Every structure is written in structure tokens, then in C-alpha cells.
Homo-oligomer: A and B are copies of this chain.
């Protein structure tokens, strides 16, 4: 694989590399790690890459890699740059015939998302989006459980993502703690909190339950003094078919870390999955003892077992789940390289990414307007 972005000091680029490395089946061989050629070069050295395949720009990378014979050239590129560059980079690689794995949010805005859908479609290549929380085996178990009808008809969903990364700024009355590109509307887009973590919550809900939002009503806030973008939001949800929901995400949750948590209640039972104890899935029903399904056990569905690496009791976590997105996307990429793309793959794709961009857009519109409920439709 190749990588665009993720140079020295970047968090998510390192995670992508560990996820790709884990199983020993994907090798990083090329990259453009920074828009600064020198920094790109140094990062390439850190990663023991052949300097001839460390590039100064992604355009150069596309050009040179495309000239290599299939088998030698990269099978896919990981894009781990800032939001406002995803679209252009992805488009360039796809149009050059190179598959793409891209970090979220997929694009800078909804318009780009629509265009990217078309680019992917016309390219015939694989496009995967790293909504990594769908990679957890127990999330997949929950999904299978809901699909099988074990919970009955779904009535209510609550998904939450309180995070404490930005809270220092509120207290200090300054922008410091998150004075990063994420709070800059010219780089991040129209949203910070909803775009960074709110869409993880929404994507998890959608992946796990299959529910489709019909309308939503939101209240988005910027608590950090001087902030140009949101750092908190709460959303009431109405789904097609009558289920209801609550979603909230917040970056000013002092003392919280990364508390993504989802609960789904159906007519026959309910489940809870909590990102901090990811090897467990709590399953409840009226008049029955609560149950805790645990990763690695033989009673789990095949999909949960196939996304595990170690026996029960040995915890698997963030990097392993991220690696599952890579593994599952890599199956499609391998098929594509061999010319036999097709079938039912289990990774977030361009439709999921476009859906997420539409969600961001709708949440922001609802909060700004005085309309109680904003209709939601796929793009």
C-alpha cells in the first residue's frame, strides 16, 4: 500500500499503519507523508521506505506509481490527510486506477461527497472509509443479532459520544487545546464535533441497526469561547418505521475520554455496546437474567469470530478493530486487483461516507433553523 498524509507527529496516520501492519499481509511501500517534501522524506526514512518511492506530492505519487507494473505498484492508497483535501486526492488516485482507503469525514462538504460517489462508480475501483468502530467483532455480533430478529422490532436507540479532548479550552477561555485544523472551517468544513465524532456515532447506529433516519431535530453548541465551529451537539431522531432515537456527541465532556456507547431497545430485548469495554456485548430481555456476550467464544456468529485474532479472555481493542476495516477492505482490493471484484464485502464504503456528510449537513441545518424537524434523505 501507499499512504498520503500521516507524517511525523500525526496521530491517525500511525494508527492506519499499525492497522495495516498487524496481520503481516499488507506492506507499506510508498508514500507522500506531508505537503512539505522534506518532512515527507524524513517520514519515509522513519518508516524504512525505499527513498525512490517517497514522494513530494500526491500528484507525483500517482504519476510515478501508475507507471510501475501491476504487482510492483501499490494496490491501494491510504488517505489520512485533512478533510479539505480528501476529495481531490481520492479522485486523482481512483481515476488513475488505484484503489483508495480514506479517513473520515469523507469529504469537505456534501457537494464533494456527491461527486465522489460518481467518481467511485465510474472508476470501478474500491473505496473504503475507515469508520473503524464498525470493525469491532462485538459490534458485528450486535448487527447480526438485530438482523436475525432476536431483539424484535427496534423501538429506540441511544448513541452517545462524550469526549473530553477540548475541555481545557472552555476553562482557559482560550482556543489552545483544540486550536487545530479541526476547528478551522476552511480546513475541517462546516462542523468540528459532529463531523469528527458525531458521524462515528451515526455510522455505528446505522451499521448496527440498519435503521434509516426520516427526520431529525438538533441543538448544536459551541461552548469554547471564540470557537468558529461546534464542540457539542444533541439530536432527536425519528426513523422510518417508527423507531425513535437520541444521539449526542460532545468534545467538552471534562474527564471523559472516548466514551462511544450505543444502546438499542427492541420489543423482545435490548443490547448495549461500550467502546471502552469492546470485547463485551450486553444483552437484556424482560424476565431473563442479563447476558454478557464476549468476544472469542464459540457461541458467537461466524462474522464475529472471523473478525477476531485471539482466544476469549485475551482482550482485543482499537487497533485490532481498525485492522479489521483494513482486512475487509483488502479482500475487495485483492479481488479488484485480480479482476473479480464483486460480492458482499463488510467495510464502510462511499455510500456510507456520503450518508455521513448528509447527516452532518442535516444536523447543522436543523440547529440553525427554527424548524422543529428537518427531513433527512440519502444523497
Contact = CB atoms under 8 A, between A and B. Distances in A.
Interface of A: 11, 14-15, 17-18, 21-25, 28, 47-48, 151-152, 155-156, 158, 160, 162-164, 167-168, 170-171, 217, 219, 221, 223, 232, 234, 236, 238, 242, 244, 246, 248, 250, 252-259, 263, 265-270, 275-279, 283-294, 296-299, 309-320, 370-372
Nearest to A151: B254
Copies in the complex: 4
Nearest to A132: B314
A171 B267 contact: yes
A289 B23 CA distance: 28
A242 B221 CA distance: 10
A319 B322 CA distance: 13
A219 B244 contact: yes
B291 A268 contact: no
A315 B318 contact: yes
Contact of A285 (B255, B313, B315): B255
A151 B253 CA distance: 11
B248 A219 contact: no
Contacts of A370: 372
Given A290-B292, A294-B290, A254 B265 contact: yes
B257 A236 contact: no
A14 B171 CA distance: 46
Contact of A156 (B156, B253, B275): B253
B219 A254 contact: no
Contacts of A156: 232, 250, 252-253
B254 A236 contact: no
Contacts of A299: 287-289
Given A275-B313, A371-B372, 19 more contacts: A21-B24, A22-B319, A155-B223, A155-B252, A156-B253, A158-B248, A167-B267, A167-B286, A223-B242, A234-B236, A254-B265, A254-B269, A255-B284, A255-B286, A278-B315, A288-B299, A315-B318, A316-B317, A372-B372
B275 A254 contact: no
29 contacts: A15-B310, A21-B24, A22-B22, A24-B47, A155-B170, A155-B232, A167-B286, A171-B267, A234-B244, A253-B270, A254-B269, A255-B265, A255-B270, A256-B284, A258-B312, A275-B313, A275-B315, A276-B279, A283-B289, A287-B299, A289-B292, A289-B294, A289-B299, A290-B292, A291-B292, A309-B319, A310-B318, A315-B317, A371-B372
A257 B22 contact: no
A292 to B, nearest CB: 4
Given A21-B21, A24-B28, A155-B223, A288 B255 contact: yes
Nearest to A235: B236
Contact of A219 (B217, B258, B312): B217
A221 B244 contact: yes
Contacts of A320: 317, 319
